[in-house]
Chains A and B, each alone.
Chain A
Amino acid sequence: MPERKIKILLSKLGLDVHNRGVITVAKMLRDAGMEVIYLGNALPEEILNIALQEHVDAIGVSSLGGAHLTLGRDLIDLAVKEGIKNKTVFIIGGVFSIEDEDKLKEIGFDGVYTAVATRDEIVDSIRELTGNTRCLT
């Protein structure tokens, strides 16, 4: 039986204006054989609503404008409330301090990526992370 494609929802978090990174990642993941939904700019509520409707394996958000901790925490809190935190991989990419990279992991992001992440690092880690959650379900 062929393996089902990894399905991932990507979004800009809130009002951040910078989208070069997230659409580059969208293309990388699609070229790597994943099914990608790109939402554009959205708030945590909308991101989770779409994720629930689409039954995605992973949610990736992009934040370069400084709101990664506030909106990132909102997203994870809401995901816990909706009961999809443990069934879905949460990743975040953008511009963060080293200290904030650690904080984002503490908040509950499974993967945290900055500008130095290569295509292979991003694709491989999403495969690995979604592989882990799929074993759980």
Chain B
Amino acid sequence: MENKKISTSEILSSGIKNENKTPLYNSDTLKKIRAGYDAIRASYENQPSGPGWEVTPHTILGSEIPRGLLYTPAQVSGLDYDDDIGFPGTEPFTRGVHRNMYRGKKFTIRQINGFGGPEDTNQRIKYMLEHGGTGISVIHDLPTTQMYDSDDPISKGQVGMSGVAIDSADDMEILFEDVPIDKITISLVTHYPSNTAILFPMYLAAAERRGIPFNVLKGSVQNDITLEEVVRSGPEYIPPKDCFRIQCDNIEFIKNNVPYFNFNTLNGYNLHEFGTSGVTEMAVALSNAIESLDEMIRRGYDIDWIAERLAFFWSISSDFFEEVSRIRAARRLWYKIMKYRFGAKSARAMWMRCHVQTSGISLVREEPLNNLIRASIQALSAVFAGVQSLHVDSYDEAYSVPTEEAALLSLRTQQIIQEETAVTEVVDPLGGSFYVEALTNEIEKRILDEIDEIEKVGGYVASIEKGWIHNRIANYFYREKELIDKGEIKFVGSNVYRAEDKKPAIEVFRYPEGVEERQKAKLAKLRLTRDNEKVSGSLGALEDACRKNVNIIPFSLECARVGCTVGEIFKVFKKSFGLWKPPVFW
């Protein structure tokens, strides 16, 4: 007998019994409002020229959801206060995961840092903390991200670029020297499951050397298969199923051993920025989260226990109300998935907690100071949406990594929102807006439809293996480029209102000199002074673990402790799992 798999949307619709507990509008009122709405719409549509009632906005990374001229209770006639909106800190969490939201705890000001060697980034981290940053986020350079050592021939000319160079646990120690990692939250932007399995153990080894126990460490890693197998361009990839296994090994190890660390930050950001709609961004991240949790249940873990450390990372682009509604929709949908698909009981397990970053791809080269305005508007929509943590892109990032001055302006943008505007005093200030509630409903429905689509392809890992997801993204961004070229997606100062003099009057960032040589010298010394028998022994044990059905992270932690390098550990993964060629659609 064919066993038909039930889709997530079917589970949710049978789980949710809309008892119409607290309907917002009665039918007589609605009838009257609908008549008024119909009359206005008819008179508008009778005008001979001009756009139709519904307009599809074209914005960078937008979802192209048509918008009417006006929203009234008639467009959200089914709203039930308890089922759809509720109170903050209670189901369905549409208004926010905490009861007091920003009055209880302000959003974390978490600017991303990373350039040069660990010595250079250490200085920038301290600078940001001295100026009021409340969290730290560290991004790694190209060789570290792609898991090669600084002295590998493939790394030539790229050490310390786009992030900080980390070759071993020694570098992790330098990176966080004099930074109170036992007190503040540290986000390690280890995009991929593979580099999370390599770099997070190095962070743990560095903490051990400082005598800091794992159970006081707080922060997050990314650990996302989407980043390793879909969004990345790189020379070598391991197969998706092995990558997914490492993702789950990271989750399992971190939850058991580093209990206050978010083991998985489902990264919609890089996917959205790579070129896809905000709806696909969320459908993909949620599908990945569902598949990880299924695997954790298979490994015998309790859903309420495991899910409480799941976090999300979204990109906030320029369609202001769409972005506010999107975050609200994802919060409500994730709650429904946790409650009805997984049977979660604890509130914490149902929370869609998120860090967000303003959109890098929306930054424009011409008249770069305009980017301050773009990022500020995006940041404000994130705050209206009730996010937990925020990074504001710097105005000079259309050229390079930000200068210290530009990074400070991003920090100040957040502080101005927090201290000068009073927007943080009231929870979910746009909740109840007919427009925002209608858009929240529509986006939630669209995300769920795309989750169903991914399930039909065979699940998230299968959608990667088959190239389905790669193809979907490519189709989006080819079309988006056409819309930009045609001027339908507008960039002020670039494809509209373009000024004659395009030279920017800004100083751009220059990478520090001599980083490659410095990293190479440290590596040469490390290779000489470490116990090389222990190194080969622990790499061998890691390889055995990779080939067996056991969690590999305790073994990569041992590798980190004895001084194995990033490249040496990645070599073990490549040898054990083999290589995979991801599809490219063009």
Does B234 reach chain A (CB closer than 8 Å)?
A: yes
B586/A114 in contact, CB under 8 A: no
B157/A14 in contact, CB under 8 A: yes
- Cα–Cα distance between A22 and B584 once the two chains are bound (Å): 11
Q: Which residue of B lies closest to A117 (CB)?
A: B485
**Residues in B231-273 with C-beta less than 8 Å from chain A:** 231-235
Which one of A30, A66, A116 lies within 8 Å of B494 (CB-CB)?
A: A116
Q: Which residue of A lies closest to B491 (CB)?
A: A116
Indicate whether A66 sits within 8 Å of B275 (C-beta atoms), given known contacts A15-B148, A41-B235, A95-B398.
no
Does B399 reach chain A (CB closer than 8 Å)?
A: yes
Does B508 reach chain A (CB closer than 8 Å)?
A: yes
A27/B234 in contact, CB under 8 A: no
Does B146 reach chain A (CB closer than 8 Å)?
A: yes
Does A26 reach chain B (CB closer than 8 Å)?
A: yes
How many whole Å from A116's CB to the nearest CB in chain B? Answer: 6
**Residues in A22-53 with C-beta less than 8 Å from chain B:** 22-24, 26-28, 30, 36, 38, 40-43
Chief secondary structure at chain A's binding surface: mixed
Which one of A17, A30, A120 lies within 8 Å of B146 (CB-CB)?
A: A17
Does A4 reach chain B (CB closer than 8 Å)?
A: no
Q: Which residue of A lies closest to B474 (CB)?
A: A23
Which one of A26, A30, A65 lies within 8 Å of B158 (CB-CB)?
A: A65
Q: Which residue of A lies closest to B115 (CB)?
A: A66
- Cα–Cα distance between A99 and B508 once the two chains are bound (Å): 9
Interface bits A64-93 vs B (CB < 8 Å: 1, else 0):
011100110010000000000000000000
**Residues in B7-42 with C-beta less than 8 Å from chain A:** none
- Cα–Cα distance between A18 and B157 once the two chains are bound (Å): 17
Does A98 reach chain B (CB closer than 8 Å)?
A: yes
Q: Which residue of B lies closest to A70 (CB)?
A: B157
Q: What number of B residues sit within 8 Å (CB to CB) of A?
A: 43
How many whole Å from A10's CB to the nearest CB in chain B? Answer: 9
Give the residues in chain B near A16, CB-CB below 8 Å. Answer: 142, 158, 162, 233
Interface bits B282-293 vs A (CB < 8 Å: 1, else 0):
000000000000
Does B365 reach chain A (CB closer than 8 Å)?
A: yes
B143/A95 in contact, CB under 8 A: no
Interface bits B525-540 vs A (CB < 8 Å: 1, else 0):
0000000000000000
Q: Which residue of B lies closest to A26 (CB)?
A: B586
Does B428 reach chain A (CB closer than 8 Å)?
A: no
B478/A17 in contact, CB under 8 A: no
Indicate whether A18 sits within 8 Å of B503 (C-beta atoms), given known contacts A66-B161, A115-B365, A119-B482.
no
Give the residues in chain A near B518, CB-CB below 8 Å. Answer: none
A38/B508 in contact, CB under 8 A: no
A23/B142 in contact, CB under 8 A: no
B494/A38 in contact, CB under 8 A: no
- Cα–Cα distance between A65 and B275 once the two chains are bound (Å): 18
**Residues in B357-416 with C-beta less than 8 Å from chain A:** 364-366, 398-401
Interface bits B511-546 vs A (CB < 8 Å: 1, else 0):
100000000000000000000000000000000000
How many whole Å from B177's CB to the nearest CB in chain A? Answer: 25
Give the residues in chain B near A67, CB-CB below 8 Å. Answer: 142, 157-158, 161
Which one of B146, B162, B477 lies within 8 Å of A20 (CB-CB)?
A: B477
- Cα–Cα distance between A20 and B481 once the two chains are bound (Å): 10
B154/A15 in contact, CB under 8 A: yes
A95/B234 in contact, CB under 8 A: no
Does A7 reach chain B (CB closer than 8 Å)?
A: no
Q: Which residue of A lies closest to B160 (CB)?
A: A66
A24/B481 in contact, CB under 8 A: yes
- Cα–Cα distance between A70 and B162 once the two chains are bound (Å): 14
Does B556 reach chain A (CB closer than 8 Å)?
A: no
- Cα–Cα distance between A66 and B366 once the two chains are bound (Å): 19
- Cα–Cα distance between A95 and B364 once the two chains are bound (Å): 11
Interface residue ranges, B against A (CB under 8 Å): 142-143, 145-146, 148, 153-158, 161-162, 231-235, 274-275, 364-366, 398-401, 474, 477-478, 481-482, 484-485, 494-495, 503-504, 508, 511, 584-586
Since A17-B162, A20-B275, A71-B158 are in contact, a sample of 7 more A-B pairs with Cβ atoms closer than 8 Å, ordered by chain A residue number, is A12-B233, A16-B233, A17-B142, A17-B234, A23-B584, A23-B586, A71-B157
A-B complex: 10 closest residue pairs judged by Cβ atoms? A70-B157, A19-B233, A66-B161, A27-B586, A15-B142, A97-B508, A65-B162, A67-B158, A118-B485, A26-B586
For this complex, 16 residue pairs linking A to B, each with C-beta atoms less than 8 Å apart, are: A12-B233, A14-B157, A14-B158, A15-B155, A17-B145, A20-B275, A24-B481, A43-B153, A66-B158, A66-B400, A74-B157, A97-B400, A98-B399, A98-B503, A116-B494, A119-B485
